[in-house]
Amino acid sequence: MSEQRNLTWHASTITKDLRHRKNGHKSAILWFTGLSGAGKSSIANAVSLKLFDESIQHFVLDGDNVRHGLNKDLGFSEEDRKENIRRIGEVAKLFIDSGQFAITAFISPFQEDRNAVRELVGEDEFIEIHVKCSLAECEKRDPKGLYKKVKQGEIKNFTGIDSPYEAPESPEIVVDAENDSVEACSDQIIAYLHDQQYI
C-alpha cells in the first residue's frame, strides 16, 4: 500500500477531447457479451470493418486472443474470470483515452464485473451490447467444439452449463444473433453509433 501512495497520475499533454476533435468522432467501449457461440466475435469484427470503412479509429480486443498474451496466466475459475474482465476494462479505458473505440468480445458472464468496467469510464463511454442467442442454438452451432468437450467431461466451469451467465440488466443494445444475420446485427450497432452521435 505504501508503494501505491507514491504514485502520481501524469496528465497527458494531448487530451481525449483534443483527440476527439482531430479524429472527428467520440470514443467509447463497445462491450459485447453473450454465451459462447452466440456470435460476439463475428459481429464485433463486422462492426470493426464498417468502422474502418468510415475511417473511425478503433481496435478489437477478443477474448481468446487476449488469453494468448496479457491474460495467459489466468484460468476459468470465477476469481480468474473476474480478473480477466478487470484487466480488459483497464486496457479498454486506455483505448478510449487515446480517442479510439475499444471493441471487446468477451463472454463476461457476471453483471457485477461488467458494471465495474462501466464505472471506470465516463457516463456515455460504455456501450453494453447483449449478443442474444439461446443456449440450445449456441450448442447447435458450437463453432469451437467446446460444448462437445463439455458433454464429454473435458471442460469444467463452462458458462451456461455448469457456470452461470447473467444476461445484461439494461444494455444499451440487444442484437438478436439467433434470428438475424451478422450483417444485420452489425448494421444495428453502427446505426446506434450514428443516432447517438458517437460517429
Active site residues: 108
Q: Is 37 annotated as a binding residue?
A: yes
| Alpha carbon distance 56, 23 (integer Å) | 8
For residue 175, what is its C-alpha cell?
442484437
Q: Is 41 annotated as a binding residue?
A: yes
- Are the C-beta atoms of residues 117 and 85 closer than 8 Å to each other? yes
Name the 3-class secondary structure at 140.
Answer: helix
Q: What is the dihedral of CA 64, 65, 66, 72, to 10 degrees?
A: 70
| Alpha carbon distance 28, 141 (integer Å) | 30
Q: Is 156 annotated as a binding residue?
A: no
* One-letter identity of residue 132: K
| Alpha carbon distance 42, 11 (integer Å) | 36
Q: Is 34 annotated as a binding residue?
A: yes
Pairing relationship of beta strands 101-105 and 58-62 according to DSSP bridges: parallel
- Are the C-beta atoms of residues 29 and 102 closer than 8 Å to each other? yes
Q: Is 39 annotated as a binding residue?
A: yes
Q: Is 12 annotated as a binding residue?
A: no
Q: Is 122 annotated as a binding residue?
A: no
Q: Is 99 annotated as a binding residue?
A: no
Residue closest to 129 by CA, chosen among 28, 63, 48, 31: 31
Binding residues for ATP, as ranges, are 34-41
Binding residues, as ranges, are 34-41
